[in-house]
Amino acid sequence: MALDARGGRSRRDVSRPGLVRRTRSGPAAGSADQDQPAPLAEPVTMRLDGRVALVTGAGSADGIGYATAHRLADLGARVAIVSTTRRIHERAEELGVTGFVADLTDESEVGALADAVAEQLGDVEVLVNNAGLASRASPEVLRPVAQLSYEEWRGEIDRNLTTAFLCSRAFIGGMAERGWGRIVNLAATAGPVNALPTEAAYAAAKAGVVGLTRALAMEMIADGVTVNAVAPGTIHTAASTVAELKQGLGTPVGRPGTPDEVAAAIAFLCSPAASYITGQMLVVDGGNSVREGLYR
């Protein structure tokens, strides 16, 4: 059953997440087993059977979040999805998953969401921070820095970076206690790879997502938790403008990407098969960021 997280009170002190590190044991120095290779931590498989996964920003049926939730459910995960509007319940019914409504820029609502997901599904082991990508209802602010208001700047940073910080902080303590977890943050090629005039706030936020990803990966590496980022280029979603789709036609592949193609990359990084990958950014842009000149 899908419930709203909005307005609920959190039982957690979200400003002080409980991070309990596992004690790593091993042979004593100088023992005969010291030079033996460590065994594989887990099977190399894409399956997520029984794992609880939360995908944020999954309100659009044509978006990356929705496609990711679908793929994770197909891999056996018990999936929860969240967005800022009640349309998330329609998406949840379509996917056969659990939907929540919450403003992920609000610290208290993120805490309430964490409690609600734990109560209905169990502790989150896979987190996909997809919330923040622009939509028709909440378009990206396109304005030169000289004309950008402080409120517009803060709005882009909060929507694209603060959401990833708050959600990650809400769940990393539990992941560390259990000794396993996956976090995948949605960055973008804009910011970490390139940029265009008038999108400084968005580019800064997405570059910040990569910085957060790398720092958190190093903090969690001893706890069996991997943290990675996926950076899509031009992807054909319901929010795509005509200009963006034309840009996609100019990529080396010759077309925009699809949400399913991005979701496939996200799902791999969420899986046990990606256990030796952390702190990385995987670019999904049809080769656009590596070419030296335009193809004819």
Residue 36 confidence (pLDDT): 54
Tell me 145's DSSP state: G
- The candidate with the shortest Cα–Cα distance to 213, out of 117, 84, 288, 127, is 127
Task: At 248, list the tokens.
Answer: 């996609």
pLDDT at 224 over 60: yes
pLDDT at 12 over 50: no
Cβ proximity of 65 and 140 under 8 Å? no
Among 148-157, 179-188, 237-246, 263-272, the least confident range = 237-246
| Sequence spans of domains, the chain | 52-233+263-284
Among 155-169, 218-232, 239-253, 276-290, the least confident range = 239-253
pLDDT at 19 over 60: no
Which of 66, 202, 276, 295 is the catalytic position? 202
CA–CA distance, 129 with 45 (Å, rounded to integer): 22
Q: Active-site residue 202, yes or no?
A: yes
Mean pLDDT estimate for the chain: 87
What is the CATH code of the structural domain delimited by 52-233+263-284? 3.40.50.720
Cβ proximity of 186 and 243 under 8 Å? no
Tell me 222's DSSP state: G
Beta strand pairing status for 225-232 and 281-284?
A: parallel
